[in-house]
Amino acid sequence: MSVRLDQINLTIAGAEDCAIPSLIPVEQRFPRDKVADVTAAVRDAIAALPLPDLSGRRIAVTAGSRGIMRGVEVLAAAIRALKKRGADPFIVPAMGSHGGATAEGQLGVLSRYGITEDSAGAPIHASMEVVEAARLEDGTPLFCDKYAFEADGIVVFNKVKPHPAFQGEWESGLAKMMAIGLGKHRGATTLHEHGFSRFDDLMPKAAKALLARLPVVFGLAVVENAYDGLATVAAMGPEDILPRERELLAHARSIMGRLLLPRIDVLIVDEIGKNFGGSGMDSNVTGRASSGLKGEDAPPIKRIFVRDLSKATHGNAQGIGLADVTTRRCVEQIDLGATYTNSVTAGVTAGGRLPMILNSDREALIVALRTCERVKPETARVVRIPNTKHLERIQISEACLADIEGRAELAVLGPTQPLEFDGDGYLTN
């Protein structure tokens, strides 16, 4: 179900005279750790493991709902490595309730990331049916995808990164993939009932309990750099998953993309979406989390303006509620069912709420500027980013120049350019 809105009759005093700052293209520089040959890295990492005889064994390989750079290549290489050892691998969608909490929806999510039976080289078995695999000490049941549970072995594959809703030694990674991804809708809902405030404690406990019961053959983890590439590929036996993941998370945190400015009045985000992160708009970048918990250090931001949804998110607008203003065009693309399902499963409602809705980009930007306390629009610190995942090229207003002067990690790329709007008030550049 999507939303349809009529023209909003709004009076903004002095709107026609509001000075909208021009913007300057800037490069943010992050560590450039990079795996040169991804296929070889996966092959070699798996070859180094002391694996048991896999001949004739059916092995489930997890594939999640987070867009992973070179993810298809990693999966295909892992499938080939398993087949080389005589195994009969297949893929299971492991993404909790994502994809509308249906098997067909989860297959669609994988397909949109380019993960198909042809590209990966193995069949995909999708179902929302689960088996109770273990229990926590407090009696909380832990579930596992039925296909994976009944397989002869499981390869847990995911990227390791800071989570947008909580902090701990294990956040987004292999532990969460086992506890929530493989748990499907039922497992994700059960664990989210505890609340994100307990996830730092729940994730390792759930992972330990599941590792004791599930036939995990090995874990396969990647860490992304800030430049659409992989910084690390690692494979580890089941006994090493938790200690290795903790190390990988520290590495991911040290090289992740972030906003390097000390303070921002208005942040313009061109797109949000599940393909950029579970929260749609990463709280580790914005400092705003649906859970209300503290994330990574982020600059204070007075107003956030979200312009659009990505095509790849297919209407799931999770994260829109963390913005202050948006547009009718953006809101009319929202699939309320997908967004609300995501929010209810996660047990938080903030990310699925609607911010103030304006008729156009120009109107939304003026409202954002005019509602910043003690800030004049013409001297506002405005920053524009494409999304919260790609932060190497951003735009800043002249008021931000003093904050980047003399810093090697920030460089001006070109001259100041005014923002240009079409006849309907939407940005054209």
Q: How far apart are CA 285 and CA 109, in angstroms?
A: 24
Per-residue pLDDT tens over the stretch 111-128: 989 999 999 999 999 999
pLDDT of residue 296: 62
Per-residue pLDDT tens over the stretch 199-233: 999 999 999 999 999 999 999 999 999 987 999 99
Per-residue pLDDT tens over the stretch 141-195: 999 999 999 999 999 999 999 987 788 999 999 999 999 999 999 999 999 999 8
Question: Which stretch of 86-100, 282-296, 323-337, 381-395 has the lowest confidence by average pLDDT?
Answer: 282-296
Per-residue pLDDT tens over the stretch 262-272: 999 999 999 99
Question: How high is the mean pLDDT of the chain?
Answer: 93
Q: How many CB atoms are located within 10 Å of the residue 228 CB?
A: 11
Residue spans of the domains in the chain: they are 15-30+258-412, 38-255
Residues 6+ apart with CB under 8 A from 148: 60, 62, 92, 94, 154, 182, 214
Please, which pLDDT band fits residue 302 given cuts at 50, 70 and 90? very high
Q: How far apart are CA 230 and CA 208, in angstroms?
A: 27
Which of 385, 419, 384, 379 shows the shortest CA–CA distance to 399? 379
Residue ranges of alpha helices (H) inside 125-239 are 146-149, 174-176, 184-192, 199-213
CATH (one of 3.40.50.11440, 1.10.3720.10, 2.30.30.240, 3.30.530.20) for 38-255: 3.40.50.11440
Percent of the chain at pLDDT above 90?
79
pLDDT of residue 299: 93
- What mean pLDDT do residues 48-62 have? 97
pLDDT of residue 4: 82
Which of 174, 275, 264 shows the shortest CA–CA distance to 216? 174
Q: Are 307 and 330 in contact, with CB atoms under 8 Å apart?
A: yes
